[in-house]
Every structure is written in structure tokens, then in C-alpha cells.
Amino acid sequence: MKPIICITGDNKSNDDLPSCAVYRKYIEVVIEGTRGIPWVLPPDEGILDDVEQVISKVDGILLTGSLSNIEPHHYQGPDSASGTLHDPERDALTLPLIEKAIEQKVPVLGICRGFQELNVAMGGSLCQNVHELPEMLDHRDNHQFSEDIRYGPSHEITIEPGGILEKSVGLEPQQVNSLHCQGINHLGDRLFVEARAPDGLIEAISVNDIDGFALAIQWHPEWEFQKNRFYLTIIQLFGDACHSHVMSRVDYRQ
């Protein structure tokens, strides 16, 4: 049996009509990278009462990147700058979804916004504009360049010993892309720092006290992951955890 992997969707506008969508690259991660079946979860507060049922039916949660930011009231932060894109319904759904997934040991992989969601769900806070802090790099996306440049290597990360990444790829520094303005301010409870950027910014985290898989990364490994061994390794680790979850389900054993 293939694992069913929940992909968090975004609220978008399509021809001025309200829509729910995910980028195709995340679907490819599930189909090609994890050998799973994608299930797009729409960001609608009407599903909130059914989060536990959702968790009982899936074998993994892929928290996608997005143009929107988490509303700062979820981490007691200052108001966002004028014009900041938010998706309050996604916030309302993904934060409790993460808590329930970790409680039920459903594998989680967070990417960019998903990285920030995991930190906030675990009680952490965010810095909304990392580039404004002294001695910090400018981690933002630059839309003046082509996708190949924007999603290409931007900076090195240092992998911390004792985590999921060190056990999988060792301590050799890796090159990653960078397309974000926010970053972790206060690290959430039960979280382990997996990697840092050259300026010290946390780039990867995991939940360190569970018998399961919960990893989140600030960069975008979904970009041409078939050609990047490091990115592919991360996706395969998630896929392996999802396949193991299938095997552990009672209805499968029966």
C-alpha cells in the first residue's frame, strides 16, 4: 500500500474566484519523491472539527511553502507591515493539525512557511524581517531573477550534530536556496536545531522527543529535487517514515 500524504493548500484567487491550490512541485514531491498518494487539504475552518479524523486517515503531512505569512497574533508578535499577505484560515487549520499529527506520530515535513508553522505550533515565535536585523544576511526572494537563479544555491548551512540530518548526510556543510524574509526568533518547545545559516539563523528543526518523524526546513528542497542528492535525501527520509506509518496502521495489519 502507498501512503496517503496530506498536502496543505492555500487560499488563492483564480480569475477573481476564490480557490484553493498547491504548487505542482509539492504534488511531484509526493508522487515521485515519496511514492505516495497526494491529498490536498483545503484551508477551511469548517474542517477544524474533523482534524482528528483527518489525522486518522493519512500517513504523512507535507506543510508547504506559501507567499502568505502566519498572522503574528499566533505568536504574540507585532502587527505585520501593511501589504503583508496572510491566510488566516490556513493558520487556523495547520496549527492544530501539526499538534495532532505529532501527538499521533504521523510523519511531518515542513517547508518554508511549514517550517515556521511547526515552530509556532510548538510555542515558538518569529522574526518578520530578518534582513533588518544587524549582521544578518538578506534571505529574501528576488523576483527580478529567473527561477533557476532564485531557487539555486544561495548560502551554506552548518548541520548540527545529533539530529536527523547529521545521521542521514553527516556534518559536511550543504548548499541551499533562500526565499524567505521571516525566521525563527524564539525556538518552540521540544524542538531541536538541525542546521543554521552562516549568520546563525536557524534553518532546520525537528521534534526531538518523539518516536516518529517531524522535520522542518526553511529552504525549498522541492525545487528540482531529482537532481540534488541532499534535497532528495530529505524527501526520501519523509517518504520512508510515511511508508513505515502505513505498515503500523491497524486496518493495514488486518
**CATH number of residue 238's parent domain:** 3.40.50.880
Portion of the chain with pLDDT greater than 70, in percent: 98
Region 111-138 average pLDDT: 94
* N-to-C CA span, the chain: 13
Region 67-79 average pLDDT: 96
pTM as predicted? 0.94
* Total structural domains within the chain: 1
C-alpha cell at 2: 502507498
**pLDDT band (50, 70, 90) for residue 143:** confident
**pLDDT band (50, 70, 90) for residue 253:** very low
214-217 and 108-111 strand pairing: parallel
Q: What does the alpha-carbon distance between residue 37 and residue 39 come to, in Å, rounded to a whole number? A: 7
CB within 8 Å of 34: residues ≥ 6 apart: 3, 5, 60, 235, 236, 238, 239, 242, 243
The pLDDT, as a whole number, for residue 29 is: 98
Alpha helices (H) along 82-222: 88-103, 113-121, 147-150, 164-169
The pLDDT, as a whole number, for residue 140 is: 80
Higher pLDDT, 160 or 131: 160
Residues marked as catalytic: 112, 220, 222
The residue range of the domain holding 145 is 4-253
Quick check: helix, strand or coil at residue 38? strand
Higher pLDDT, 224 or 154: 224
Does residue 25 carry a pLDDT above 90?
yes
Region 33-38 average pLDDT: 98
Does residue 249 carry a pLDDT above 70?
yes
The pLDDT, as a whole number, for residue 251 is: 57
Does residue 148 carry a pLDDT above 90?
no
Quick check: helix, strand or coil at residue 55? helix
**pLDDT band (50, 70, 90) for residue 154:** confident
- Share the mean pLDDT of the chain: 93
